[in-house]
Amino acid sequence: MKITVELVKELIREQFPQWAALPIRAVQPGGHDNRTFRLGECLAVRLPSHPRYEAQVEKEARFLPYLASHLSVPITAPEAVGQPTDKYPLVWSVNRWLPGQTAQEIHDGQKPLAVGLAKFLQELWAVSANAGPPAGQHNFHRGGDLGVYHEETLAALAELGDRVNQDACRRIWQRSLASQWDRPSVWIHGDVAPGNLLVDQTGLIGVIDFGCMGVGDPACDLVMAWTYFADAGRELFRNSLEIDSETWNRARGWALWKALITFHQPGSSAVVRTLVADESARS
């Protein structure tokens, strides 16, 4: 689906004429699930890149104002929901623009981010999750049973062969499947990644892109421990969280699954090596 500045201008002009005079420019990188565009200085337009991501728009519009009222860190704030047209057949959104650089752009300051992210997650998990959407296809089972990806993980291991440490990876995977979240469901972000965390020298200052949010097991929100933090940051992150070892093991499984199925993408092989080194250190 080709999504351009010209298309966004037309959608805004037709559905939200009050913003038609504002300049529009594409954000780089524009995202995978959604393409993002600046609308003036204070707004952002997000358009799903495929029909499978459309449900994320209505979910964010419904739940994010509620979550924002319980969190000390600013998060995505929906302003309006756009309707499908002949030229763009999906629901789309306009949100407040949150200023700041992402953790993907700023790689220093790991310790402040580790503490700030842990605090944010603890606050998120404390919000009542009674009305939240359970894990499912709408968020690619984030917060659900990791076993849904068992066959995919085994297939990836078989394909990669001796390019990964098979014994260590299989130990990590089997341990991650050995427990289930047996407490009340909590809110999850679903895609805690460097590109979705806004930071400055003090640490975390904003969180964006809640398209994979839902309620369930928080383990999936801990993968930054291996995909971003170095040893000291990882230890500080874990020690700043109120989690048990089984949840940490499931988190390692989530990190391993994603790294294996994206092994040929930049950074994924390094994540596998980090997980294997972590496994060796615990043995």
Read off the pLDDT band of 78 (50, 70, 90): very high
Return the bridge partners of 216, or none: 186
Residues 120 and 70 in one domain: no
Task: Measure the CA–CA gap between 261 and 36, rounded to whole angstroms.
Answer: 26
Residue 233 domain boundaries: 102-282
**What's the pLDDT tens digit per position in 85-95?**
999 999 999 99
Task: Measure the CA–CA gap between 37 and 277, rounded to whole angstroms.
Answer: 40
The mean pLDDT of the chain is: 95
Residues 244 and 108 in one domain: yes
Residue 131 CB partners (closer than 8 Å, separation 6+): none
Closest among 159, 157, 155, 179 to 168, alpha carbons compared: 157
What total of structural domains would you count in the chain?
A: 2
Residues 277 and 193 in one domain: yes
Residues 27 and 156 in one domain: no
Residues 65 and 158 in one domain: no
Residues 112 and 190 in one domain: yes
Q: Residue 263: which CATH number?
A: 3.90.1200.10
Of 58, 78, 97, the domain-final residue: 97
Residues 150 and 255 in one domain: yes
Task: Measure the CA–CA gap between 154 and 160, rounded to whole angstroms.
Answer: 10
Of 43, 76, 97, the domain-final residue: 97
Read off the pLDDT band of 283 (50, 70, 90): low
pLDDT of residue 88: 97
Residue 189 CB partners (closer than 8 Å, separation 6+): 121, 124, 196, 207, 210, 212, 213, 221
Read off the pLDDT band of 106 (50, 70, 90): confident
> Residues 22-32: what's their mean pLDDT?
88
Residues 180 and 73 in one domain: no
Residues 199 and 269 in one domain: yes
pLDDT of residue 144: 98
Of 67, 97, 127, the domain-final residue: 97
Residues 135 and 229 in one domain: yes
Residues 110 and 217 in one domain: yes
Q: Residue 91: which CATH number?
A: 3.30.200.20
Residue 232: pLDDT over 70: yes
Residues 43 and 149 in one domain: no
